[in-house]
Structure 1
C-alpha cells in the first residue's frame, strides 16, 4: 500500500468529493481523520472506512477557526501518532449576483474556504516542520477560481486565493521538504446536479451507469472517484518533486493549469498616456482574454 504508515486529515470529508478523497487515501494505506459539521455524517464516513479494513476517526467541527485547525492536527497525532497529509476540502456555497450578495454571504464563504484553508495549512505545516516530516499539503480549488463564474463572487475569490496561497506555500515550505499543490476537480456534486446541462451525466451517475463519453472526455466531467486517485498520488512519495502546481482532473481528463503570465507586451517611449492608450491599446495588446467557463453545445441525444 503506497501510503502505508501515513496519516491524513481531510476537511469536509463526510460526504461527496471529500469522502471519496478520504476513502481513497485509506484504500492506499493511510489512517484518516474525517471532518464534518454533522456528527451522524462524520460517523457514517468513518464507518465506511473501518468496514473496509481502514483506520479512521472523526472531528466534528466547522472549518475556519484556528481552534478547529489545531484540533484536527492534535486528533491525528493523538489517534495515529503523526500527521503527514492535509487535504483542505471543506466548503460552503452562498451563490447570488454581486448586487444581491450580503456581507454574510461573502464572509461565510471566505471564512470556510479561504480562512479555513489558511488556518488548517498553518497548523499542519507548523507541526510538520517541527517534527521534520516531509508532508503533503493538497488544497482543493475550482474552475470558478481559475475562470470566474456568474453569481459566485465569494466562491471565485476564495478559490483563486487558495491557488495563490499554494504557490506561496510551495516556496516557503520547500526547504522543509513539504509540498503544496492545488487540485481543480470537475465532478458530479450536489451543485452540478441542479444544472440542466449536466443532467444526462448526473442521471447516469445516480443509476450507477457510466457517464456518456461526451462528458467524460470532451468536458473532463466525471465522478468523485475520478478525482480521488490524484489526491492519493499527490499525497505519496511518488509526487515528492511536484509542488506549487494547480492540477485539474475530471472524467478521463488530466490538466496542468498555467500560472498567470503576461500574454502580450508592448513598449512606448515616454510611457503610456491616456491619449496613447485610447489610440493604441487594442493594437498593442491584441485580443483580450476570455472569462467564464465555455461549454460546447450538448449533442442532441444528451439533451434533457
Structure 2
C-alpha cells in the first residue's frame, strides 16, 4: 500500500544548504569549534552527509536557494496512545536528480536519532543564530505557566488563562510577558505556595528562545509541527510526544535507536531527503 503524506509546511534555504538536525543541540555546534553552516556547506558540496560531534547530530544537503521547499510526512500509530506519529519525513530540495545517477536506488546519507527535544529543518546559515533553551530571547518576552495540586487556588488568587496544547487543556498562565514581569509573576506564585502550602505548585518561565518558539508554534498541530523565522529564514520544528519517545526512541543513539536518512528522486525527477522511522509492530506485543 502506498504511503499517504500530509503537508507540514515549507522552509527555505537561501544559502543553498538545508539541515535536518536535533533541536536540543543546534546551538552547541558553535561551541564545539566550526559553526554548523561551515560544516554543513562542506557536507552539501559532496552531495550531502551526516554530521556528528559529541551529542550534536544533523544531516546537511544541497537545496534550491530561490524557492520554498515543501515538507511532508506519512504517519503510523504510536504504541503509546495509538495516535498518528511521523513515520516518514520528506523534504523537497527543489533540485533535479543528477542525470547520470540511478534514480531507482536511494542514496544513504547516514542516520539520525529522534531527539527528545524535537527536530529542526532549516537553512544552515540561518540556524547559526539559533537560541537554545538557555539562550536570551530576541524579543525580550517570556511565557509563565503553573500547574499542580494547588493550581485552582493559585488561579483564584492570581488569575491567568488556560493554555491549550496538543488538543487538550494545558497549564494555566500568561503568554508574551516582558521578562522582568514574567520573573516577578513566577516569584510571586512560588512565594505564595511556599508560604501557604510548602509544595504542590509547579511554576515555569519559558523565554522566547527559538527553542521555545518552535515548540509553541506546534501546540495546535496534530503532529506537533510549527514554522518560525530564524536568522531571516523560515524554519520548521517538530516536537515529539514524550510518551511516544519513551516507548520507541529512548536512549537514542546509545541504544541504537537511529533511523536512515536518504536522498531519493520523486515522481517529478527532483531530489527529496527522506528520514524513515519504521512503524511500531503491534503484532509483536501479542507474541
Q: Greater RCO between the two (CA within 8 Å, min separation 6)?
A: 2
TM-score by length of 1: 0.24
Structure ranking higher in strand proportion = 2
